[in-house]
Structure 1
Amino acid sequence: MTNEIYMTSKAWPFDQARAILRRLDIEKKRGIDRGDKPVVFETGYGPSGLPHIGTFGEVVRTTMVRNAFIALTEGKIATRLICVSDDMDGMRKVPGTVPNPDELEAYMQKPLTDVPDPFGTHDSFGNHMNARLRAFLDSFGFDYEFMSATELYRSGAYDEYLLRALNKFDDIMKVMLPTLGAERQATYSPFLPISPSTGRVLYVPMKAVNPEDGTITFDDEDGTEVTMSVTGGNVKFQWKPDFGMRWAALGVDFEMFGKDHQDNAPLYSRICKILGGNPPVQFVYELFLDEKGEKISKTKGNGISVEDWLKYAPPESLSLFNFAKPRAAKKLYFDVIPKTVDEYYQHLDGWSRQDEKQRANNPVWHIHNGTPPDENPPLTFALLLNLVSAANASDTETLWGFIKKYAPDATPENSPGLDRLTHYAVAYYEDFVKPNKAYRDPTDQERAALEDLVKRFRNVSAAESNDGEALQTMIFSVGKDHEFENLRDWFKAIYEVCLGQSQGPRFGSFVAIYGPEETADLIETSLAGNLS
């Protein structure tokens, strides 16, 4: 029934997969017969804005857990990944990025699927954003089923649970009211009726709750008392009760969410139980931070978009960033991209030397669902960036000229992974390295050491000219001979004086690719103050 190697893997997706398996075992012991019901993995989406890096993170991480569960159970238990769009939410503000925003003001608080599409491509704003979400997810090849909250409410899929909520109205209120202030308590209701006169989502108190006939009574916006059914899309649930109701109605077995939901998660679970459901396994992940350590916000625009990342790095590296330590707060800004790219290829390089147990802990297992590509570029992304910087290369052809010296058999055709890295490196250099270059003059000690290094580079034997280790040892020797107390300061000086940056990859590896003679020329040019 289970794969024993995956049962002992320490990778967090396998840990979550085992938690789901334990949940199924508990259900079985309680006499709950699931029949052929698949294990349901869920993610949620708010369609008031475009899909963003958090959307990608939630779906890619959930997919990793789903894949781990399938491997753990050897595919003997069916699974589904559903992506639910909360598109019946009332529009609270008009996005500033839409055409003719003033024309949408009249539709405030109407369900997003009842708001006209300002882009003119779909029958509503909600459906336009849903289409953007689906195109976004499809572009990454995710295997998922899309569900619209509007369709779930209006088709009757939620009717049974809305009627249960009527019967359990007091129990739900006992859960919710202690979490609210006195003013909010006075008007709170888990049911949000859709006004029959204006079509808006109403936040109004209930005058009567009638489980016998499945209706609620409230005052409409014009003061008219209205009694109407809770079924058929006449109402929606407040977002916190909606979370728990969705779990119960859709039979969700696993859902992950950000730390901002953590305090509310017990409420979701209690409401799920009140409505006769079994709360899913829940995984809380930390939120991304910007370079200042502040929470990333779409409103502030202080983060990186998926499009931003993919302009400078392969999608696998973005998956790795999401895989690594999801429960630890991580800074997400452009400086992390080169390091993450190289870490991805390091994990990929290690795969061929690992046994099955080790591979289950390797991030590339989870990025590629156990079948990573056979790809190992001979140069790191950091080295490529330094080559672009030293050669001032604005095109990949120049870069390939140096690569051929180091790896003569490599071509863009037979090394497509390396070729795409060259394009990423040029783009990243132009936008982030070049504008921030800051050359400095050397100290007397540094100048003497650099002049010595030039002499040694010009006398390097042919055998050593592309030997990165030998060249690294030579550079170390120069630093020692010129009595640098800390050799890190020596290497930092090389980078700051010659490349206008404070750090980089192993300089010996760079010299092996760029060439000792070319590096000597670069150093002499920098000592003459002719770099800018």
Structure 2
Amino acid sequence: MTEEIYLKSKAWPFEQARLILKRLDIEKRRGIDRGDRPVIFETGYGPSGLPHIGTFGEVVRTTMVRNAFIALTEGKIETKLICVSDDLDGMRKVPSTVPNPEKLEAYLQKPLTDVPDPFGTHESYGAHMNARLRTFLDSFGFDYEFFSATDLYRTGRYDDYLLRALEKFDDIMAVMLPTLGEERRATYSPFLPISPSTGRVLYVPMKSVDAKAGTITFDDEDGTEVTVSVTGGQVKLQWKPDFGMRWAALGVDFEMFGKDHQDNAPLYSRICKILGGEPPVQYVYELFLDEKGEKISKSKGNGISVEDWLAYAPQESLSLFNFAKPRAAKKLYFDVIPKTVDEYFQHLAGYHKQDEKAQANNPVWHIHNGNPPKHIPPVTFALLLNLVSAANASDRDILWGFIERYEPEATPETNPVLDQLADFAVRYYQDFVKPNKSYRDPSDQERAALVDLAGRLREVEEAEKTDGEALQTLIFSVGKDHEFENLRDWFKAIYEVCLGQSQGPRFGSFVAIYGPDETAELIENALAGKLG
């Protein structure tokens, strides 16, 4: 029954898992012998800079597809997630963020693994960045195997496919040349030799290729004609042919990439086929946008990093942001964090009330690989933010004074997730909410209603002081009594006058945790102009 549910699930990781399963059937029908090779899920990494939020997104999404495939096949087919670092690429520019950048100028265009490590901790710049990547991935507990392109080329792992690429040189050129401008076509070669004299990666035309001998001939930087073997790491492929060759050589069954690769994907596939491979299932995701709707760029610095997000919210919320609609362009900026945190816990609360079919479509199944936790914090993140604002809380201990009155059995020890959220809320409020608060004066109608509300809150009976529903009904009644045509305007007025913002969680829930008397005092201070 469970397998049937997975076969019909509309969650995108299961859709991709089914395509991979279909691909395996196609291979079998074509007589392709996989032997005991596992199903390979691949992600790629460019080690010229530090891993970033896109790196996390690609690995976490690929992991979700892998987990869906394992569930779909009941674990009967071995799988492997590999992360390949393109560290044989030439260093195009020296990052301004490294120590003594001027010392690396002499190594421009040399493979990243031949550039000294400016941080002094590893044998090369590429090795340093690879180590940072692995530390980054390990911190999230990803299950993967790391591959260095330098090792793949220099240890001979790619040799057979490089020789095959030499045999199919004309076929590869026939794929690539129509995609290039006239000037580039005149000098293009899929092979990039590494200069025997300077060690730099060269973008030079081939004078001749000898498939039988396994060699290419070209002019070195000093004009000397040189012949080298294409094996043993003496050359690398241009990035588009390299993409297709990697698929064929490593037997990749699934890879996802950003929309900026979409136009090139058919080229990767054609080259993979030319080299005798079967192209993997490919999934194209949209790129993140900043608050203005512009593409996020590391060089522009207009996005937020993984470290930024995790300073204000749990990792699961970042996983949810990546899970949701990966083929839709989404704005990634600090304002989305609180909403995403609360959406995660809403999905988690719903999961344990759902049947298996609904659970397979629930994001938390994919975030937690079918085994999500059961504990749900009794207070939302949005409510905590309002509590920080109203109480002017400078640390989470102040928040716990209110939380424990609302939930007497809750403690930081028994509710570590809520304790963490309280800490996040204080930090987020101080950095993003407080600087942008803007209180306004009430209209005559709003002032009269707020005075009435404060009075009624002071008269709330003890039994109803923590009853969010009863308090919400009371607030509704005040709005109706003061003839607000749209009660949304009434609640908006409460937030704008008393909390300096235009919206928030249910105000009854806020009153229940903050306290009716304290809320009445907050309203009175706002009407007296003591909050702005």
Decide: shared fold, TM above 0.5: yes
SS in 1 for 2:464: coil
Q: Distance in 1 between matches of 2:218 and 2:368?
A: 53
- Aligned twin of 1:290: 290
1:417 maps to: 417
Aligned equivalents of 1:250, 1:186: Cα separation in 2? 31
| Corresponding residue number in structure 1 for 2:445 | 445
Q: Counterparts of 2:478 and 2:57 in 1: how far apart (Å)? A: 46
Aligned to 1:238: 238
Whether 2:501 is the aligned partner of 1:501: answer yes
Amino acid at match of 2:132: R
**Secondary structure at 1:75 match in 2:** coil
The two structures have a TM-score, normalised by structure 1, of 0.99
Distance in 2, matches of 1:10 and 1:527, equals 51
- Aligned residue runs from structure 1 range 30-429, under 5 A: 30-429=30-429
Cα distance, 1:406 vs structure 2? 1.0
Partner of 2:522: 522
User: 1:218 corresponds to which letter in structure 2?
Assistant: F
Q: Distance in 2 between matches of 1:179 and 1:32?
A: 31
The Cα shift of 1:463 comes to 2.1
Determine the C-alpha separation between the residues in 2 that align with 1:2 and 1:355: 11
Q: Give distance in 2, aligned partners of 1:381 and 1:409.
A: 19
* Alpha-carbon offset, residue 2 of structure 1: 8.7
Q: Is 1:2–1:73's contact at 8 Å kept on the other side of the alignment?
A: no
Residues 271-300 of structure 1: CA deviation (Å, up to 9, x unaligned): 000000000000000000001000000000
Paired letter, 1:505: P
CA contact (8 A) 1:312 1:427 kept: yes
**Native 8 Å contact 1:479 1:490 kept in 2:** yes
1:143-174 deviation per Cα after TM superposition (whole angstroms, max 9, x unaligned): 00000000000000000000001100000000
Matching residue's letter, 1:205 = P
Give 1:31 shift.
1.7
Letter in 2 for 1:57: G
CA distance in 2, matches of 1:487, 1:110: 66
How many Å apart are 1:397 and its aligned residue?
0.8
1:430 aligns with 2:430: yes
Aligned to 1:466: 466
Q: In 2, distance between residues paired with 1:472 and 1:48?
A: 55
* Contact 1:64–1:366 (Cα < 8 Å) also in 2: yes
CA distance in 1, matches of 2:164, 2:273: 11
Aligned to 1:484: 484
Deviations 1:175-197 (A, max 9, x none): 00000000000000000000000
SS at match of 2:361: coil
- The separation in 2 between residues aligned to 1:107 and 1:503, in whole angstroms, is 54
Count of residues in Structure 1 that have an aligned counterpart in Structure 2:
532
The 8 Å contact of residues 511 and 519 in structure 2, kept in 1 or not, is answered as yes
Provide the rounded CA distance (Å) in 2 between the counterparts of 1:30 and 1:3: 26
Q: What amino acid sits opposite 1:24 in the alignment?
A: L
Q: After TM superposition, give the deviation of residue 459 of structure 1 in Å.
A: 1.1
Task: Classify the secondary structure of the residue corresponding to 2:333.
Answer: coil
In the alignment, the residues of structure 1 paired with residue 117 and residue 514 of structure 2 have an alpha-carbon distance, to the nearest angstrom, of: 54
In structure 1, C-alpha distance between the alignment counterparts of 2:126 and 2:443, rounded to whole Å:
62
Alignment-mate amino acid for residue 480 of structure 1: K
In terms of mean alpha carbon deviation, does 33-42 or 64-73 score higher?
33-42
Contact 2:112–2:126, Cα closer than 8 Å, also in 1: yes
Deviations 1:454-475 (A, max 9, x none): 1111111222211111111111
- Deviation readout 1:393-451 (Å, 9 max, x if unpaired): 00111100000111000000011111111111111011001111111111111111101
User: 2:179 is aligned with what amino acid?
Assistant: T
What is the Cα deviation at residue 35 of structure 1? Answer: 1.9
> C-alpha root-mean-square deviation of aligned residues, in Å?
0.9
- SS of structure 2 residue aligned to 1:254: strand
Q: Tell me which amino acid in the other structure corresponds to 1:147.
A: F
Give how far 1:34 is off.
1.3
CA distance in 1, matches of 2:71, 2:425: 36
Give the letter aligned to residue 427 of structure 1.
R
Q: Is the 8 A contact 2:189 2:206 kept in 1?
A: yes
Distance, in Å, in 1 between the alignment partners of 2:236 and 2:135 is 27
**Partner amino acid, structure 2, of 1:452:** D
Alignment correspondent of 2:456: 456
Question: Which residue of structure 1 lines up, in the alignment, with residue 12 of structure 2?
Answer: 12
Q: CA deviation at 1:487?
A: 1.5
Residue deviations 1:285-326, cap 9 Å, x none? 000000100000000000010000000000000000000000
TM-score by length of structure 2 reads 0.99
1:234 Cα deviation after fit: 0.3
Tell whether the 8 Å contact from 1:2 to 1:74 is kept in structure 2 after alignment: no
Matched AA of 2:501: Q
**217-226 vs 365-374, greater mean Cα deviation:** 365-374
Percent identity of equivalent pairs: 83
Letter in 2 for 1:179: T
Determine the C-alpha separation between the residues in 2 that align with 1:225 and 1:75.
Answer: 55
Amino acid at match of 2:260: D
The separation in 1 between residues aligned to 2:491 and 2:111, in whole angstroms, is: 60
Structure 1 residues not aligned, in runs of 5+: none
Q: Distance in 2 between matches of 1:79 and 1:262?
A: 25
- Matched residues in 1 for 2:299 and 2:487: separation? 45
- Partner secondary structure for residue 43 of structure 2: strand
The runs of 5 or more residues in structure 2 that have no matched partner are none
CA distance in 1, matches of 2:249, 2:392: 59
1:476 is displaced (CA, Å) by: 1.3
SS of equivalent residue, structure 2 residue 284: strand
What SS does the aligned partner of 1:412 have? coil
Q: CA deviation at 1:485?
A: 2.0
